[in-house]
Structure 1
């Protein structure tokens, strides 16, 4: 079942110390501002819930995991403040995931673009299907993957980030992403993916939560400055989205 709500949907469910966050949007699970805000709040709330030992992040349906930013909202941006505010949405989510006390498992069932790649990179452990190709298409519309770059580069290295970002019109398949560390395991079917994620989440949930929280702190050392850095990057994107090049590219894409 996929949502038809224009602002998207977000559901959180906790069972046996495993919390699942599921987001959805009729436009290939893309993100309008309101949905980014709700996702940020969901991570912040779960982070402070002692009964939660592990979090699974997933999206609705069997096709795209996430198509990145909402094109409708990108087109509607008319000034610098609006632009900075919109791109800060992804900055806030990545920072919430980074600060979140519990490990986050990403379930990537299909194609992932732009900000969606950033979300996958901000997970602590990702599993995917063979259909989970990735692309950073931002340069094709006159902006860049600036906000998500620190998260993606941290996970796959600068060289692999450059391979994605410069070749903005090309998809990289799930095995390419696995070889570079974005995905840990790749499965043929969604059924296999879900089975393994459940087993892995149960294992993590059974470990000492104090140990897993310390483990998470260790792996994110050196990222505290992201609170400011990602907002600064959001301002860069917010300025570029007002350019004539980007406005024309977005309208062309929309048609």
Structure 2
């Protein structure tokens, strides 16, 4: 388990069979490789646990849900193999959600950027607050949302994905995300979100496990090739992150952020 300074991932299972997986990182819940791997492992473990009926995916804090990839770690990548391994972390999470026999519901309390949008798209159902605006900023730093694009496009369609990707510096509102299909429900604040999340999780946990498993299979029909597809996409991002353009963009973002 990483230290709190480097982030953490926890898994708690309630008596009613609700597995709550919480990830946290002090840098706006961004995800370095260690957290990506641990998050995928926890999702897989919860899915394989016979005592678990439903999985809740959430992040710590009351602001940003997930800022996506760790820019500090992106700057440490020195070869395309390491780049592919890093971006494969997001592929592992998406595929862990996809292959889990349990319904995954996501609690989006704040902004979701880049890979954070991918996490929301990997869930089977999303509840969010009005503060949970979204942005795919990858083009602005010289890469693209290649790994997460199958999951995002599956939820919101190609026209909305194109808008989100091309408008790389613009946030879209939570209500836009709900209108396009990424979010299923939007609430005015975290208190209302949590009340709705608790009620939904308890209700799902009371349903027939085999019925939920059958529903899960239907929800992910046509994605059997994603293990290979997302690995190929990770390799594309792994090459691009080494480019001079992307390295300069990352340095510029971090220097501006630290002023």
Please indicate the TM-score interval, normalised by the length of the shorter structure. Answer: over 0.9
Tell me what 2:119 maps to: 119
Tell me what 2:145 maps to: 145
Runs (5+) with no aligned partner, structure 1? none
| Alignment partners' CA distance in 1, 2:3 and 2:98 | 30
Please report how far the alpha carbon of residue 4 of structure 1 lies from its aligned counterpart in structure 2 after TM superposition: 7.5
1:100-139 matches, cutoff 5 A: 100-139=100-139
Tell me what 1:249 maps to: 249
Q: How many residues align?
A: 253
Can you list the C-alpha shifts for 1:33-65, whole angstroms capped at 9, x where unaligned?
Answer: 000000111011111111100010000000000
Task: Note the aligned Cα RMSD (angstroms).
Answer: 1.0
| Alignment partners' CA distance in 1, 2:37 and 2:220 | 22
| Alignment partners' CA distance in 2, 1:85 and 1:5 | 23
Superposition misfits of 4+ residues, deviation over 3 angstroms: none
Tell me what 1:213 maps to: 213
Tell me what 1:196 maps to: 196
Please report how far the alpha carbon of residue 241 of structure 1 lies from its aligned counterpart in structure 2 after TM superposition: 0.3
Can you list the C-alpha shifts for 1:212-231, whole angstroms capped at 9, x where unaligned?
Answer: 01100011011010000000
| Alignment partners' CA distance in 2, 1:125 and 1:172 | 19
- 1:80 partnered with 2:80: yes
3-state SS of the aligned residue for 1:107?
Answer: strand
Tell me what 2:184 maps to: 184
Tell me what 2:12 maps to: 13
> Any conservation in 2 of the 1:4–1:26 contact (CA below 8 Å)?
no
Tell me what 2:156 maps to: 156
| Alignment partners' CA distance in 1, 2:76 and 2:59 | 25
Runs (5+) with no aligned partner, structure 2? none
Please report how far the alpha carbon of residue 7 of structure 1 lies from its aligned counterpart in structure 2 after TM superposition: 2.5
What's the TM-score, normalizing by structure 1? 0.98
| Alignment partners' CA distance in 2, 1:138 and 1:216 | 30
Tell me what 2:58 maps to: 58
What's the TM-score, normalizing by structure 2? 0.96
| Alignment partners' CA distance in 2, 1:68 and 1:7 | 15
3-state SS of the aligned residue for 2:186?
Answer: strand
